[in-house]
Structure 1
Amino acid sequence: MSPLFKLTFAAGAAVLALGAQAQAFPAPGKTFTLIVPFSAGGPTDKVARDLAEALRKPLGGATIVIDNAAGAGSTIGTAKAFRAPPDGYTLLVTHVGMATTPALYRKLPYVVDEFEFAGLINEVPMVVVGKPTLEANNFKELTAWIAQNKGKVNMANAGLGSASHLCGLMLQQALKTEMTTVPYKGTAPAMTDLMGGQVDFMCDQTTNTTSQVEGKKIKAYAVSTPKRLTQPAVYKDLPTLDEAGLKGFNVSIWHGLYAPKGTPAAVVKTLNDALKVALKDPDFIKKEEGLGAIVVNDARANSAEHKKFVQAEVAKWGPVIKAAGQYAD
């Protein structure tokens, strides 16, 4: 066998091996893991579990398990996903924290741009809600009440980097006022104290507020999106914050799917194709709409556009967080 033939044969074998590797994904019987960098039962966990159900069929009936790796404002679980084998079987489902942690943390154990972006999943509107005994009955009355009680108003959030923390920062800047922020270790204790009247109000995801608003355990004042919400029905009469006088106010909490750096392009494409099928699943859409979430049906479901969107969000949130001077160690 001539040296040239040997070289050509070796190169051809390598190409065939790479092709076989790509075609073999997903391997029959192989289990997928979705890392969620938040506690079980929270909004991101709910999204991930709904998504896992919708992804099973387009991934060949694969078993998909959830790994809740919570802590340090989502950075522990995100770092775990970043260090995972880049074979496509360990993925990350996380929210807007992917874009805000670079400003919130001086040092991160991962680089956001080095993840492989598999596609945006949904957007979750935010709602300004108050304790049930709050005197204000609409947003105009709420802003007047805040002005009258300057220095006495308490605004809850679920902790540094949480959706409620980020929305609260934007709200304070838009209202041009400072309030006493009360951080909690998660949404559940914050909501419990809001319902009990220990704190005055908060701005949180519809995934966290809907059942309490429907049960009249808290008051709802306005939504954070440019357009009014039609679902769930309990929000259909609420004005947007833009309509209520905070022109241009637009905050939503989005979720995306990511793979570790170095995951083969063919594998990322397979994951993206599966995600786009899942995003059209009627059961998935119904579950998300029931939580007030809007399933993505535009170009951001594609890998490249997802990455561009996250980069734009990094640029959007960085100045807001820096202006507030709120950092983690």
Structure 2
Amino acid sequence: MKTPRFLAAAFTAALFAVAPLGAQAQAYPAKPLTLVIPFAAGGPTDLLGRALAQSMGTALGQTVVVENRAGAGGTLASAYVARATNDGYTLLLHHIGMSTAPGLYRKLAFDPLKDFEYVGQVADVPMTLVGRPDLPAKTPQELIAYLKQDGAKVNLAHAGLGAASQLCGMLLQQAVGAQSTTVPYQGTAPALTALIGGQVDVMCDQTMQTVPHIKAGKVKLYGVTTRERLKPLPEAMTLREAGLKDFEVVVWHGVYAPKGTPAPVMAALNTALKSALKDPALLKRLDEVGVQVVPEPLQTPEGLRTHLKAEIDRWGALIRQAGTYAD
């Protein structure tokens, strides 16, 4: 029979064994976090990610370090985070490309619906259709007519397979019923530089990247891809107004963590995300380039997961129709 003294000693030992675990859970986050961006520094997702990292870091009381892991349309970074330790210290900010990857790639090293926990959606970034400064078409209607008549002569730039600019370009070609000569680049920045320099004719790109160049007169603005006109570019027609019925592309973004990240950690991350998306400094910065924070019901794990599944279904059908794949 065990003595009271033995039982007391056993209880004390168990208490000391458990205490560090409880303290560790309560202390989260106890060190800086890493927010992985699947595209090059200076691009639209990077700009959004750095602004978000600063605001989330303030909410969490820790530094959130941005790490760029570009390549393969965002799939390299996604696979990296899917395999990362699921302790809440490695996160992924990805855009619409998370939903197109299953359709674009015959083999993926991750499953968007099985290999992640979902922190929540962040923001919708509109896109613009822009042209080189000396492109003869003066209006969006003239550009659409030119694309329909001589599409093969038009060099349509994009930032690489799976990039939002490529997806928008696919929709544009489908909408006008003509194929252009697509010119891929390794990122948004070099594609936009080529457009400004006149090496290519047109491209779609996110407002976070194009608004400064539009206002500086470095590129010609033909329209925006949203249902309504944008506050920062009130003079720009929507492409729907210009004659492309039902044309709409919005680049949504979400934050992900590796599968199995503990529920209390996920709750802390979601709370920090929601707090960041109320930060006046962040909201002002996003408003200046037409970026809209998503409604609060979408800033949730379920909001992101539901939207991701719907977008996988939507873009998968379009990609199969276009016949665009990567090995």
CA deviations over 1:154-195 (Å, ceiling 9, x no partner): 111111111110000011111111111111111122112211
Matched with 1:95 is 95
Deviates more, 1:275-284 or 1:42-51: 42-51
Checking the alignment, whether the CA contact within 8 Å between 1:158 and 1:186 is kept in structure 2 is yes
Amino acid at match of 1:290: E
CA deviations over 1:43-83 (Å, ceiling 9, x no partner): 111111111110122102x0221111111111111111111
Matched with 1:177 is 178
Q: Distance in 2 between matches of 1:323 and 1:20?
A: 54
Q: Report deviation, 1:229.
A: 0.6
Q: Report deviation, 1:21.
A: 4.8
Aligned length: 318
CA separation of 1:66 and 1:135: change in aligned 2, threshold 3 A:
same
Q: Residue 257 of structure 1 aligns to a residue in which SS?
A: strand
Are 2:107 and 1:107 aligned?
yes
Amino acid at match of 1:213: I
Q: Distance in 1 between matches of 2:185 and 2:220?
A: 20
CA deviations over 1:195-224 (Å, ceiling 9, x no partner): 122211111111121111111111111111
Matched with 1:262 is 260
Matched with 2:154 is 153
Amino acid at match of 1:285: L
Q: Residue 182 of structure 2 aligns to a residue in which SS?
A: strand
Matched with 1:24 is 27
Checking the alignment, whether the CA contact within 8 Å between 1:279 and 1:297 is kept in structure 2 is no
Give matches, 1:233-312, under 5 Å.
Answer: 235-312=233-310
Give matches, 1:175-214, under 5 Å.
Answer: 175-214=176-215
Q: Report deviation, 1:298.
A: 3.1
Relative to the length of structure 1, the TM-score reads 0.91
Q: Distance in 2 between matches of 1:292 and 1:318?
A: 27
Deviates more, 1:254-263 or 1:192-201: 192-201
CA RMSD of aligned residues (A): 2.1
Matched with 2:40 is 39
Q: Report deviation, 1:22.
A: 3.7
Are 2:78 and 1:75 aligned?
no
Q: Report deviation, 1:310.
A: 0.8
CA deviations over 1:68-102 (Å, ceiling 9, x no partner): 11111111111111111111111111111111111
Relative to the length of structure 2, the TM-score reads 0.91
Q: Report deviation, 1:19.
A: 5.7
Amino acid at match of 2:125: V
Amino acid at match of 2:48: V
CA deviations over 1:275-323 (Å, ceiling 9, x no partner): 0000000111112222331122331101111110111111111111111
